[in-house]
Structure 1
Amino acid sequence: MAANTPIVRWGIVATGKISGWFVEDLMLSDWPGKSANHIIECIGSSSLDKCERFAQEYVTQKPKPTLYGSYQEVYGDKEVDCVYIGTPHSFHKQNCLDAIKARKNVLCEKPFTMNSAEAEEVFAAAKAKGVFVMEAVWTRFFPAVKTLQKMLHEEQKIGRIIRMYCDFGLDIDIANLPESSRYKDPALGAGSLLDIGIYSLTWGLLTLAGNVGDKAEDPEVASTQTLSDGVDTSSSVVLKYPSTGRQGICTSTTDFNSGGDSFARIEGSKGYIVVHGTTAASPQRFDFYPKDSDAKVEHFKFEKPGRGFFWEADAVAHDLKAGRLENETMPWAETLRMMMIMDGVRKRSGARFPVDDCRFLEK
Structure 2
Amino acid sequence: MADFPTVRWGIVATGMISEWFVTDVVKSDWPGKSANHVIQAIGSSSLEKCQKFAEKFVAPAKPSVQPTLYGSYQEIYDDPNVDCVYIGTPHSFHKQMCLDAIEAGKNVVCEKPFAMNVKQAEEVFAAAEKKGVFIMEALWTRFYPLMKTLQKVLHEEKRLGTIYRTFCDFGLEMDIPCLPDGSRYKDPALGAGSLLDIGIYSLTWGLTTLSDKVGEGAEDPEVSSTQTIAYEVDVASQVLLHYRSNGRQGICTSTTNCPPKDDFARIEGSKGHIIVYGKEPSHPDHFVFYPKGGKEERYDFDKPGRGFFWEADAVALDLQAGRQQNETMPWAETLRMMNIM
Please indicate, yes or no, whether the TM-score normalized by the shorter chain is above 0.5: yes
The C-alpha deviation readout for 1:294-347, integer Å capped at 9, x for no partner, is x211010000110000000000000000000000000000000010100xxxxx
Structure 2 Cα separation of the partners of residues 32 and 151 of structure 1 = 22
Structure 1 Cα separation of the partners of residues 68 and 257 of structure 2 = 41
Structure 2 Cα separation of the partners of residues 34 and 161 of structure 1 = 33
Gap change, CA 1:4 and 1:29, over 3 Å in 2: closer
Is there any run of 5+ residues in structure 1 with no aligned partner, and where?
Answer: 343-363
2:44 corresponding residue in structure 1:
45
Match of 1:164 among 136, 141, 166: 166
The C-alpha deviation readout for 1:268-299, integer Å capped at 9, x for no partner, is 1111110010000011100000012xx21101
Match of 2:245 among 223, 243, 246: 243
Structure 1 Cα separation of the partners of residues 238 and 38 of structure 2 = 40
1:73 aligns with 2:72: no
2:339 corresponding residue in structure 1:
340
2:101 corresponding residue in structure 1:
99
2:272 corresponding residue in structure 1:
271
Once the two structures are TM-superposed, the CA of residue 33 in structure 1 deviates from its matched residue by: 1.6
2:15 corresponding residue in structure 1:
16
Once the two structures are TM-superposed, the CA of residue 205 in structure 1 deviates from its matched residue by: 0.5
Structure 1 Cα separation of the partners of residues 34 and 213 of structure 2 = 24
1:124 corresponding residue in structure 2:
126
Residue 284 of structure 2 aligns with an amino acid whose one-letter code is: P
Once the two structures are TM-superposed, the CA of residue 237 in structure 1 deviates from its matched residue by: 0.4
1:209–1:241: 8 Å Cα contact kept in structure 2? no
Once the two structures are TM-superposed, the CA of residue 138 in structure 1 deviates from its matched residue by: 0.1
Residue 152 of structure 1 aligns with an amino acid whose one-letter code is: L
Is there any run of 5+ residues in structure 2 with no aligned partner, and where?
Answer: none
1:34 corresponding residue in structure 2:
33
2:206 corresponding residue in structure 1:
204
Once the two structures are TM-superposed, the CA of residue 31 in structure 1 deviates from its matched residue by: 1.8
Structure 1 Cα separation of the partners of residues 232 and 176 of structure 2 = 13
Between 1:98-107 and 1:27-36, the stretch displaced more is 27-36
Structure 1 Cα separation of the partners of residues 292 and 36 of structure 2 = 44
Q: Quick one: percent identity of the two aligned structures? A: 70
SS of residue in 2 equivalent to 1:179: coil
SS of residue in 1 equivalent to 2:254: strand
RMSD over aligned Cα atoms = 0.8
The C-alpha deviation readout for 1:226-246, integer Å capped at 9, x for no partner, is 001431000000001111111
SS of residue in 2 equivalent to 1:74: helix
Structure 1 Cα separation of the partners of residues 35 and 288 of structure 2 = 30
Once the two structures are TM-superposed, the CA of residue 30 in structure 1 deviates from its matched residue by: 1.9
Once the two structures are TM-superposed, the CA of residue 258 in structure 1 deviates from its matched residue by: 2.3
Once the two structures are TM-superposed, the CA of residue 177 in structure 1 deviates from its matched residue by: 1.5
1:183–1:191: 8 Å Cα contact kept in structure 2? yes
TM-score (norm 1): 0.92
1:57 aligns with 2:38: no
- Runs of 4+, deviation exceeding 3 Å: none
Residue correspondence of structure 1 range 179-190 to structure 2 within 5 A: 179-190=181-192
Once the two structures are TM-superposed, the CA of residue 82 in structure 1 deviates from its matched residue by: 0.4
Structure 1 Cα separation of the partners of residues 302 and 141 of structure 2 = 14
SS of residue in 2 equivalent to 1:158: coil
2:288 corresponding residue in structure 1:
287
Residue 32 of structure 1 aligns with an amino acid whose one-letter code is: P
1:32–1:304: 8 Å Cα contact kept in structure 2? no
